[in-house]
Amino acid sequence: MKAFGVFLLGAAIALPALCALAAAGPSRPVVVGYVFPRGAVLQPGQIRAKSMNRINYAFANIQSGRIVAGFPADEQNFAYLNALKRENPSLTVLVSVGGWLWSGGFSDMALTATSRQTFIQSVMEFLGSNHLDGLDVDWEYPGSVGAGNRFRSEDKQNYTLLLKELRAAFDQETRRTHKRLFLTTAAGATDEFVGNTEMAQVAKYVDTVNLMTYDYTEPGVDPLTGHNAPLYANPADARHASADASVRAFERAGVPAAKILLGVPFYGRMWGEVGTGNHGLFQVGKALARESPWAGLRPDELLNRGFARYWDTAASVPYLYNAQEHVFVSYDDAESLTVKSRYVRAHRLGGVMFWEYFNDPSGKLLDAVNLSLHGRAAE
C-alpha cells in the first residue's frame, strides 16, 4: 500500500498527458486494421498479434438506441482478441459500431441529449463487459442516405455532440479506472462528408479519423473504369479524386495531419466488357463484382492466365487488364502500399488503416505496410 500515494500522483500527471495525446494524435505511425469475422468464431493463429497497433472489430449494431453485439460469437471473439495482448502488450482492441449496412440507427440515436445518453451508457456497459479499449464510430453517413438510411440536416451538429459526449464519458471513466479509452471515427473521403460534418470540432474529441480513402470508383455505380484507391489523381480521370486530395480536404477542414489515418483497401474492383483503349483504364465497362478480396482476386494467378499488370505513374497504383476477356481490375499491391505508407510518413499522418484483415491471408499486404512504416514485417 505504500506505493498508493505515488500511484495517485502518477495518475494525476498521466491524465493531462493522455488528454494532450488525444489532442495531438499518435506520435508514431500506427497500423490499424478492421477485423470482420462475419459471424465466425476466431481460431488460434488466425490473427498475428504483432501485426497491428489497434484492431477495430466489425461490427456492433444499434438497436432501440443502444449498442448491441452484431453476431452471436462476438463475446467469444473479444476474449480471443484480448488474449493477443499477452503477445503484444501495446495492442488495443476497439469495437466498431455501424458500418455501411448497420448505420440506420445513428440519426435517431444522436437526435437528442437523452437519446445520446442512452446510447453512451450502453457503450460504457458494452466496453466494460467485454474488456475493450474503446469505440470506433462508423456512421455512414451523417446528413446523407448511405445504404438507404434515415438522415437529417441536424446530423451535422449531432455527430459532433455524440463524439463530444462520448469523449466526456470516456474521460470520466479514465479518471475512475486509470485506463485510457480510445475514441475514433471512420470518415467518408468525400467533399460531401466534409460538408455534412464539423470536422474541426470532431477532431478535438477523437483520437484518430480513419479516412476511408478507397471506393473512389465502383463498378455498377461509375460508368467508366478507374482506380479504387488512387493515391494521386490522374489528369486523365474526369473524377479528379484521390487519397491525397481527400487528406488535404480534411486538413483544410481542421483535422490535424497527426490524427488522420490513411485508409487502404485489401480488396479490388472488377469490370467486364471493357474496351482495349489505354489497357482498359478510364473506359466504359460493366460490373463483374462490386468488391473482391485480395485472396479472391489472386493477382499472381491472373497474371498466368492472360492478364497483364500496368502501373499508373500519375496515380501511383497498379491495375490489371485482360485484352482477350476484356476484364479490368483495380487493386492495391505491395508496391502501391509501400508508396502509400511512405506518403503517410512524409506527410506526418497518424498512420495507416486497412479494410480488412481476412482479405490478405498471405500477409504480404500487411507486411508491406509494416516494412514501410516501421522498417520490419509483422511477426
Q: Sheet containing 308-312: give its strands across.
A: 286-293, 267-272, 327-330, 317-322, 308-312
Burial 76-112 (b: 16+ CB within 10 A, else e): ebbebbbebeeebeebbbbbbbbbeebbbbbbbbbbe
Helix spans in 220-333 (H): 243-252, 294-297, 299-303
Q: Are 15 and 175 in contact (CB under 8 A)?
A: yes
Whether the Cβ atoms of residue 227 and residue 319 lie closer than 8 Å to each other: yes
Which residues is 209 bridged to in the sheet? Answer: 185, 260
Residue 101 CA to residue 129 CA, distance in Å, equals: 25
- Amino acid occupying residue 299: P
Cis status of the peptide bond prior to 356, with omega within 30 of 0: yes
Question: Is 140 an active-site residue?
Answer: yes
Q: For residue 25, give the amino acid letter.
A: G
Strands 54-63 and 66-68: antiparallel
Asked if residue 192 lies in contact with residue 253, where contact means CB atoms within 8 angstroms, the answer is no
Q: Which of 87, 140, 192, 251 is catalytic?
A: 140
Active site residues: 140
